[in-house]
Structure 1
Amino acid sequence: MPAAIAKTGGGPGATATRPAVWGRALRILAWLSFLTETIIIGTGGAVRLTGSGLGCSEWPLCTPESLVPTPEQGIHGVIEFGNRMMTGVVGIIAIAVVLLVLHRIGGRRALVSSLWFAGGGIVAAVVAYAIARPINKDLAFPVAAAVLLLVVIAAAVYSVRAATERRDLILLAWITLVGVVAQAFVGGITVLTGLNPFIVGFHYTSSLLLVCVTAAFIVRLYAAPGPRERAVPKWFAILSHVTGLALAVTIVFGVLTTGSGPHSGDADVFRHGFDATVLAHVHSWPGYILAGLVLALTISAWVLRLEPRRWLLVLVIAIAVQVGVGVLQAREGLPPLLVGIHMVLASLSAAAYTVVVLHLKRPVAQED
């Protein structure tokens, strides 16, 4: 169990076994959060790749009269609604992680404060909905969701500022929850704008970043608390961050390529007009540079026996498989299954890189 979790357990009346139980629960929830954030990229990809982006024509309802898909909407409605249900699962787990972290680190006072924020947020959202509906019923729910998002952000800021230790865990947990609420809001905007490809791309990129955040939470959960120092040579750290830039550029051009290709989410949706063939080549250039940089880092790390060497090996494997799938899907005419695998692999590659970066530093040795 992470030292910080054991240290902050239970309060005066806690038993010897309770901290271990809570620590185990938090680890399980952390891994579930990472897993579900990855899965929702797959379900979101399925929505787009099967042309089900408008399977539910409304938001938050599926149709103007029904919350769930109707038989007339067929399989497309089922796929789109399934992705929306997955958002609910992700959100519940994110809430559980926040509450458990607050209780373990800040005690009952921090937990009660967050619950007060939750109650206030719900009331504020209901009031906003009631005010907005007579003005424009189509915008009433987005306005309410925006108000709820602002309250969640306010709760996060308050919790982080009030914490006296392990602010890293509290901050990462809140970022995940804020991100999930924001993603639900952006998902609604995506439907209301008729699957605008730029918003769809932003939606995917944000989901990928949440996978990275949940991966970072797991790493910090297992890490010792306290100040940290660089565990690698300066040149290695710089090259690692350059590699991150190459990864980001590769992902951005991949998103643009997908947005210009045949998988827009619905047959009637207008793409953003870029030449997909040209973008596919442009997308591959930083991809090959990325592969070379990761290989160089991995060889250097193993020769010098640096801290992140094992996770760099994981990243090499992820990038190699990603490149292979990318080449294969281009040659086979972008079959939906391979495109979906490529999307999920991109998130896992970014998560592996996040773990590598977090291993560039180590806890400062404490003097006795």
Structure 2
Amino acid sequence: MSLRSLIARLPYPSAGVQRAVGIAAVVAQAGIGVTGSVVRVTGSGLGCPTWPQCVAGSLVPVRHPGIDAVTQWIEFSNRMLTGVVIVVAALAVLTAWRIQIDYPERKRLVKLAWTMPGGVVLQAVIGGMTVLAKLEWWTVAIHFLASTPLVWLAVMLLKAFREGDEPARPLVPKLGRQMLVLLTVLMWAVLIAGTTVTGAGPHGGDVNTHRLDAPIEQLARIHSGLLVAYLLVLGVFGLTLMRVGAPKRVWQRYAWVWIVALLQGVLGTVQYALGVPEAMVSFHVLGSALVIVATALLWTGTRDRGPVTSLEPAEKRELATAN
């Protein structure tokens, strides 16, 4: 019996299940970055000093000279959380595949779903390289930055469950689309600049980790300056929405981007002024994930791919149409 026929035997996912799987994908991809920051600020990055084993000869933490048991378990727990992300990714693929069996045209949905497990594998490899490189700041930066497109793709997957597969029809004028592209580019520029501030900062994941030898004050100015540019472009984008009378849902998403971005800016400023307390670092990483989610929701909300047709089994839909 083929895998496809086995999946066809699964119950058809209801609209609620589809939405729940999409939300779970967003939370999982965003959450693993936040838990990774907890590992870093607690100095537990080398609690498991090798990979894929925790210590040489053992996949799980064992008493080891020179390694604190608490830091071992913090790092090991973060690795185990990857298992949760894998389960969610697998559920996303199974859900999308089951839908496509009834609706063969839903190829884009399946492709987006497959980016979830693909991203987990990529992150596992990069995470292993980061550990083997003894948490060099640039490897940690790559590890974080590699997770950001996965958060974006998870938002697109959530949206795909609730929309059709027609070619995207823009709901904003050409200038607005250009501003949105620039906004997205600036968002990632802010994130990249943020990793350099982190690389020069006090929380490297281990006391012996090399730090970026650059003036943190200057790096922080560049980081905050890019955020200001992001907000300016966001303001210009709002003006284009006023010109065309954008739909209410676009305005709602636009407002959320402002709220999340401003709160993230305030949090970063306070964090820097207080000397970068450990807890605030993790909240700042959470804020970064929320900025990505809000911007991605705005992106998906400014285009229409037609009505969703796959919220119920094909047979039930055909029966309702016939009646």
Asked whether 1:351 is paired with 2:293, we answer yes
Q: Residue 24 of structure 1: CA displacement?
A: 3.1
Q: Residue 30 of structure 1: CA displacement?
A: 1.8
Which residue among 142, 146, 149 is the counterpart of 1:202? Answer: 142
| 1:239 alignment counterpart | 179
- Bigger mean CA offset, 61-70 vs 312-321: 61-70
Q: Residue 66 of structure 1: CA displacement?
A: 2.0
Alignment of 1:95-134 (within 5 A): 95-106=90-101
Q: Residue 304 of structure 1: CA displacement?
A: 4.2
Distance 2:228 2:99 in 1: 44
Distance 1:339 1:70 in 2: 29
Distance 2:136 2:107 in 1: 37
Distance 1:275 1:249 in 2: 19
Amino acid at match of 2:216: A
| 1:264 alignment counterpart | 204
Name stretches of at least 5 consecutive residues in structure 2 with no aligned partner.
1-6, 308-323
Alignment of 1:316-355 (within 5 A): 316-355=258-297
Distance 1:323 1:205 in 2: 19
Q: Residue 27 of structure 1: CA displacement?
A: 2.3
Amino acid at match of 1:78: W
What RMSD over aligned residues (CA atoms) do the two structures have, in Å?
2.2
| 2:255 alignment counterpart | 313
| 1:7 alignment counterpart | none
Identical aligned residues as a percent: 28
Q: Quick check: 2:172–2:240 contact (8 Å CA) kept in 1? A: no
Distance 2:186 2:278 in 1: 26
**Match of 2:161, SS?**
helix
- Bigger mean CA offset, 58-67 vs 75-84: 58-67
Asked whether 1:293 is paired with 2:288, we answer no
Q: Quick check: 1:52–1:76 contact (8 Å CA) kept in 2? A: yes
Asked whether 1:229 is paired with 2:169, we answer yes
**Match of 1:222, SS?**
coil
Distance 2:151 2:233 in 1: 22
| 1:93 alignment counterpart | 88
Q: Residue 37 of structure 1: CA displacement?
A: 1.5
Q: Quick check: 2:175–2:240 contact (8 Å CA) kept in 1? A: no
Runs of 4+ in 1 over 4 A off after TM superposition: none
Q: Quick check: 1:219–1:358 contact (8 Å CA) kept in 2? A: yes
Q: Quick check: 2:109–2:160 contact (8 Å CA) kept in 1? A: yes
Amino acid at match of 1:88: G
Distance 1:350 1:217 in 2: 14
Amino acid at match of 1:184: A
Distance 2:297 2:206 in 1: 36
- Bigger mean CA offset, 36-45 vs 23-32: 23-32
Distance 1:255 1:227 in 2: 36
Q: Residue 299 of structure 1: CA displacement?
A: 5.3
Name stretches of at least 5 consecutive residues in structure 1 with no aligned partner.
1-9, 108-162
Q: Residue 360 of structure 1: CA displacement?
A: 2.0
Per-residue Cα deviation, 1:141-200 (whole angstroms, up to 9, x for no partner) = xxxxxxxxxxxxxxxxxxxxxx95222211111111100011111111111111121111
Structure number with greater CO (CA < 8 Å, separation at least 6) is 2
Q: Quick check: 1:302–1:309 contact (8 Å CA) kept in 2? A: no
TM-score (norm: length of structure 1): 0.75
Which residue among 70, 74, 78 is the counterpart of 2:62? Answer: 70
Distance 1:306 1:68 in 2: 54
| 1:46 alignment counterpart | 38
Q: Residue 65 of structure 1: CA displacement?
A: 2.5
Distance 1:272 1:345 in 2: 23
Q: Quick check: 1:212–1:347 contact (8 Å CA) kept in 2? A: no
Amino acid at match of 1:26: Q
